[in-house]
Structure 1
């Protein structure tokens, strides 16, 4: 059975050199919006934790809101880290070349929900370490895309694996799934 949080990539490896050169500037409005939306999502996750602890399942509305934020966050990461070339939308509701497929809400174990913060610590530590690596990869990707007009496949796949693991970790912490992040090095779909 596959993981309920799947990164999908539907993009060729070519990148526009002009947008690559100014990607850090172009992404600023998305980073501001992501920060503001993240504050509200943090509050929604707290409410979701209490509701899931009592009901054993995240409500559809909360699940949808948090999932849309996570999709948008992944789309912005995909743009920033050169996994995709087009400029993303601001709501995470449109398909994007670097996107997440998130399963609908499912029943969750109340004990696992109660101790989710503690259970998530190993994955969060790994995710943090991989976060440092992905920014080093982004610098290498920037040079590769700027000079060749394309991202190398291996570099793209390693970056995608880190983005996928991070998204699965965030989904686990945000109660979108009770399935632990997958360390499998399978290529994204």
Structure 2
């Protein structure tokens, strides 16, 4: 649903394509006991998200063929994939301690504090055909920044328990990760032709009206440093993991030696 904002000025990319929007209220106090038990409480939601992701995978395949021939997603597929993305985003925002309110078990959640905004627009058939290749750079960034966040997420969890809220830079950096993931998924599932971008927040402009804590999403120096840290930690984790796997492979190869020659008697 349109909001009245100028899409090119507020949420457009350099080609004028409108970027999906994530709305999360500004940082606020949270109940310490829900922070302490957050992931345990969300276990049923994780199961639902897993099941929905499986369904969305097959629907995306159907949507890919449809978009390849018609240049857009059929309305039914767009609504389903958009609803799954909204559901996943609500659960993800709760898991990342961005909101305290428990996400509902429903596709429709107009009163929930976390909302996304998508616009059904025509798709470039050539970009649809090569979507798996085009998404690789964004997939790398998405994987690195998420891995980096989860590496230090336990620190944010402890901070949330002690303070009853996230510090503003932590909130902004975490919201940047959540928004990039949402935009990446929207691109992969062809809900938008706009390539995922603005990991480091939006550029402040005079015409921007503050709609929520993430609209526009402005990162100060501390939040920007945190996002860079997420990327570096994610990269380091992959390098270490690759090194360990390589060493294990070498050790296994060294262990496979030629059978000993037993002298004949």
Tell me, yes or no, whether TM beats 0.5.
Answer: yes
Highest Rg: 1 or 2? Answer: 2
2:106 pairs with one of 91, 95, 112: 91
Measured in 1, the distance between the counterparts of 2:94 and 2:102 equals: 7
Q: Which has the higher contact order (CA 8 A, sep 6+)?
A: 1
* 1:139 CA displacement: 1.5
Number of residue pairs the alignment of both structures matches: 188
C-alpha contact 1:68 1:91 (8 A) present in aligned 2: no
C-alpha contact 2:177 2:199 (8 A) present in aligned 1: no
2:19 maps to 1:4? yes
- Provide the alpha-carbon RMSD of the alignment: 1.3
TM-score normalised by the chain length of structure 2: 0.68
Name 2:181's counterpart in structure 1: 166
SS state at 1:175 partner: coil
* 1:98 CA displacement: 2.6
C-alpha contact 1:7 1:98 (8 A) present in aligned 2: yes
Query: For structure 2, which runs of at least 5 residues remain unmatched after alignment?
Result: 1-7, 12-17, 203-213, 216-265
Measured in 1, the distance between the counterparts of 2:90 and 2:36 equals: 19
SS state at 2:106 partner: coil
Provide runs of 4+ in structure 1 moved above 6 Å. Answer: none
1:53 pairs with one of 65, 68, 80: 68
Name 1:128's counterpart in structure 2: 143
Measured in 2, the distance between the counterparts of 1:122 and 1:110 equals: 20
2:133 maps to 1:118? yes
TM-score normalised by the chain length of structure 1: 0.95
1:176 pairs with one of 191, 210, 219: 191
Name 2:118's counterpart in structure 1: 102
Structure 1 residues 11 and 87: alpha-carbon distance in aligned structure 2, compared to 1, 3 A threshold: farther
